[in-house]
Structure 1
Amino acid sequence: MFKFKFLLWALTKLLQRAVKNEPGCAKYVKGKELVFQIQTMDGIGRHFRVKDGAVSSSAGLAQAPKFTMTFRDAAKGFAILSAKDGKEAFLAALHDEDLVISGDFVEVMWFQGLTEYLQPGKKPAH
């Protein structure tokens, strides 16, 4: 559980650093307003806010997120989010129902684009 919570907190810091240090990432989030959350089926999680060209997060769940990524449990969430082969891990988790995504899929796809800025040495083509 602790590793999952720490990973979600660290995700915020990584996104903040990408926005600050990568001009393409700063441009990607500029003008975007979005609240989403990542949680476990038993309701442990964190919500994230993209607003005014910045990323922030808070422990706990949001009232009305645009989308929610719900993992079966904290161990599965940690394993999937920290997997080296991220896209394959997500697809396998969706197939195995270890991950359920609900809400606005257009925003989910936008978030996938944002996470590409976290890949070392990769520059997304947006």
Structure 2
Amino acid sequence: MKFKLLLWLLAKLLQRAVKKNAECARHVKDKTLVFQIQTLDGAGRHFRIDDGKVRSAAGLTDCPKFTLVFKDAAKGFAVLSAKESKDAFLTALRTEDLVIRGDFVEVLWFQRLTDFLQPQK
């Protein structure tokens, strides 16, 4: 349940970042992308970037550009909520607690988008 709540919260945080941060709004302005984050057993959420907006819905979609697949909900929650998110992400990839399916270039674009969620220094 925490994993699903975290994915819902991620969508809300991305929506807020687009509204409040002009640089973030420029980052998504002309982008069209559908991706999803899920567990190996199929629990997850899909996200749609289009018309300068972030939309999200529970469940999976048929044709995402990429999918982040976590071994289980506990691993997904741990990685997505880690303070050192990039290190946790890379460690999860190395240990195969996270597998990326699809277009890796789009994953890099998404990682740049998540940088807007970090507190400004």
Residues in 1 aligned to 2:74 and 2:112: alpha-carbon distance in whole angstroms = 25
Alignment of 1:13-32 (within 5 A): 13-32=12-31
Q: Normalising by structure 1, what TM-score?
A: 0.95
- Residue 98 of structure 2 corresponds to 99
Deviation at 1:121, TM superposition (A): 1.1
Residues in 1 aligned to 2:115 and 2:84: alpha-carbon distance in whole angstroms = 12
Q: Normalising by structure 2, what TM-score?
A: 0.99
- 1:52 pairs with 2:60: no
Unaligned stretches of 5+ residues in structure 1: none
Residues in 1 aligned to 2:119 and 2:15: alpha-carbon distance in whole angstroms = 15
Q: Deviation per CA, 1:81-123, whole angstroms, max 9, x where unpaired?
A: 000000000000000000000100110000000000000115x
Residues in 2 aligned to 1:82 and 1:63: alpha-carbon distance in whole angstroms = 26
Deviation at 1:44, TM superposition (A): 0.3
Residues in 2 aligned to 1:59 and 1:28: alpha-carbon distance in whole angstroms = 24
- Residue 6 of structure 1 corresponds to 5
- Secondary structure of the equivalent of 1:69? strand
Unaligned stretches of 5+ residues in structure 2: none
Residues in 2 aligned to 1:32 and 1:121: alpha-carbon distance in whole angstroms = 24
- Residue 60 of structure 2 corresponds to 61
- Secondary structure of the equivalent of 1:118? coil
Alignment of 1:83-94 (within 5 A): 83-94=82-93
